[in-house]
Structure 1
């Protein structure tokens, strides 16, 4: 089945597609409303980056997924990313999920880990409470467009007091440039639960040669005393525009950990934000990125403090090659009443070419007196003294520079909790750094 949206903002087409997929009435109505909104709202305006110049509406058409019977039948691009022996896995190919598995032990504990489309049908009342609540559909044209056409996606629900000891993994990939590829990820961790989720979002570069748009939204709800670790690597092709918005809402004594590798070859807008509503809530965000050729990248991390004694830490490290351009924003906002809050951020850019551009913009917005906050930002080239030191010990200049770069990125790479994903990140870094 293939249904083309007449335009990305067409209400009738969005509703027709939703009904053809058997979606519940509440979701059909949501999609129709979002499609109308997308026709009236402006695109987001990240700092110093005019994304409206990018190809933002190449969303393609819906392609009905063809499920596989076993993991061994998955395409190689997905198979090489899967942790050996995993039972807890969701795989999306283009417009839909083709594999979903959850261990009997976790299912017996009430854990739900499936594609979001299935969850909307089978767990509608639960999903409806949270879908588009952290990221509203009417924030801008991107969120409205995504709400109208998202497909596949992930739904992860962890009941109260359940500790998921093994990471849950998803692989999301596109190998058809005419297919809509717009996953929505929704995670709900109830009180005093604990879970680690890791995904990889990739393009089969041999199959994708035309322009495409990847609108993606992540919503994470961390209830009191819960802990969520969210790791993601994006490695989409040179012809694509990756527009990813991630947001977590954290309650009393909850904790969110973000580990993000933005390693796309094309234009990238990435926004990751933690809303610390609860007293004692915490957020730790680590982001790495490598830009090459003529890439344009807008990378924003943010923490908004409402809760007393809330704590946020943000680290972004980027390596820029050739004539790539990156605007890196760190935003710490401490609201009135968030006494004893603490917000720390650091943005560092390593330049490998005189034509590359990297702007680091730390921003502190403080509306409360009794708080602590700090920031650090640096943009520079590889330190020649470090290169000389390594060369004096028999290491070539090229290898010395590579070691320094890996050391620069290591604080994030080492945090990836799934070995197969960590190894893939290393391979992607090596490829991008060598060109």
Structure 2
């Protein structure tokens, strides 16, 4: 390991933490993480040299001004929200650049004991809860990115659902960056207690040229016995942002996680979405769509690690590449010794729309137990000219024929998404990215 140049020095980091009135344990954790970042290497990714990407601009923490009304947001961000009377919306958090500028939770959910606030506010009001879970699922010592995140995170979301509480309306977060000099590394922490259930939806959007800004985000989900969490996220940042995200869920007995991820970013992107099926009977279902354009480089990993008996995981990824875009799509199912009766299934498919685009689908099964079932399917190919010819022979134009084939390719994932809002949004973003 070699010593790395860091985006901030220790003294400045400590001063920032104290100025934000963070508890001593968080200041100490930031210090430790920054020291680790100076010695750790970048993550080693399958067929992707992330160390060759421009990862120098992490920005500087800037305290944002509160948002008086949602009407003040850019149109690209406002269009993702259902703005109510007086420019407000319940069960919504908005982060702009370095910090949260809007936070509103309905009285109904408050009375049920639900906590939905900025992570920074939760440090003050629910410090013990945050301390026991923060960076417990994603370790700061894993690589340089996770260490830098632990040191530099700002804003973020804390969602806590008490035992036996079923949240029957989605809670939503919007992450907006429009200042290339301001840090943008949100941390999402979700804790669902025993037999709780909740649906969380977030969107990442950007405005203007952001000078190679790095979005270095982390999502941690802790699902206690019998809990169910649906997590939906769509990233739609522009080409001037490098998008790096770790998402990870820890599932106890009979807990469930449903991932719905749309990687609609325009710049280079790395995402790792992992379920740790620790408990017996735990269940993970992941659906991922990504579209690459221009000379974009994507590395998308979906992973399930089975420890619990009779645990079940299913992963479906669809990627469409055009122009000179490159995608490395990894599906990893790991069944540990002792995870008897576990079942892991995965499918990765890549459709290339131009001769210069490239897609690799890498299905990986790592099985350390005999009494299990597991399977995988993967394919990489171009639009079938016979299918295009068949549709054109029915009076459909070439462009419309290709569009129908692309939608048919993505349909197995899109139609299974239980949230109409996300289905509609992904369809619109696919059309925009592919220029249809």
Q: Where on the TM-score scale, by shorter chain, does this alignment land: which range?
A: over 0.9
C-alpha RMSD of matched pairs (Å): 1.4
Return 5+ residue gaps in structure 2 as ranges.
Answer: none
Match of residue 156, structure 2, among 153, 156, 159 = 153
1:266-285 matches, within 5 Å, as 266-285=267-286
Match of residue 196, structure 2, among 193, 196, 212 = 193
Q: For the Cα contact (< 8 Å) 2:179–2:210, is it kept in 1? A: no
Residue 105 (str. 1) matches residue 108 (str. 2) = yes
Residue 131 (str. 1) matches residue 130 (str. 2) = no
Q: For the Cα contact (< 8 Å) 1:330–1:345, is it kept in 2? A: yes
State the TM-score, normalized to the length of structure 2: 0.95
User: Quick one: distance in 1 between partners of 2:419 and 2:116?
Assistant: 17
Deviation at 1:130, TM superposition (A): 0.4
- What does residue 40 of structure 2 align with? 41
Deviation at 1:419, TM superposition (A): 4.4
- What does residue 326 of structure 1 align with? 327
1:371-390 matches, within 5 Å, as 371-390=372-391
1:101-250 matches, within 5 Å, as 101-204=104-207, 207-250=208-251
User: Quick one: distance in 2 between partners of 1:183 and 1:416?
Assistant: 25
User: Quick one: distance in 1 between partners of 2:95 and 2:409?
Assistant: 32
Residue 364 (str. 1) matches residue 370 (str. 2) = no
Greater RCO, 1 or 2 (C-alpha within 8 Å, sep 6+) = 1
Deviation at 1:15, TM superposition (A): 1.2
Determine helix, strand or coil for the equivalent of 1:171.
Answer: strand
Aligned residues: 428
User: Quick one: distance in 2 between partners of 1:155 and 1:363?
Assistant: 33
User: Quick one: distance in 2 between partners of 1:395 and 1:233?
Assistant: 32
User: Quick one: distance in 2 between partners of 1:363 and 1:166?
Assistant: 36
Q: For the Cα contact (< 8 Å) 2:6–2:38, is it kept in 1? A: no
Deviation at 1:418, TM superposition (A): 4.9
Q: For the Cα contact (< 8 Å) 1:66–1:98, is it kept in 2? A: yes
1:354-433 matches, within 5 Å, as 354-416=355-417, 418-433=419-434
User: Quick one: distance in 2 between partners of 1:390 and 1:420?
Assistant: 30
User: Quick one: distance in 2 between partners of 1:192 and 1:81?
Assistant: 30
- What does residue 3 of structure 1 align with? none
User: Quick one: distance in 2 between partners of 1:101 and 1:401?
Assistant: 43
Deviation at 1:187, TM superposition (A): 0.3
Deviation at 1:421, TM superposition (A): 4.3
Deviation at 1:17, TM superposition (A): 1.0
User: Quick one: distance in 1 between partners of 2:424 and 2:292?
Assistant: 20
Determine helix, strand or coil for the equivalent of 2:109.
Answer: helix
Deviation at 1:420, TM superposition (A): 4.5
Q: For the Cα contact (< 8 Å) 1:251–1:279, is it kept in 2? A: yes
Deviation at 1:84, TM superposition (A): 5.1
State the TM-score, normalized to the length of structure 1: 0.96
Q: For the Cα contact (< 8 Å) 1:167–1:417, is it kept in 2? A: no
**Deviation digits for residues 296-338 of structure 1, max 9, x if unmatched?**
1111010000000000000110001111111111110000000
User: Quick one: distance in 2 between partners of 1:404 and 1:351?
Assistant: 12
Deviation at 1:70, TM superposition (A): 2.6
Q: For the Cα contact (< 8 Å) 1:83–1:419, is it kept in 2? A: no
**Deviation digits for residues 47-95 of structure 1, max 9, x if unmatched?**
1100000111211111111112232333323211113554110011000
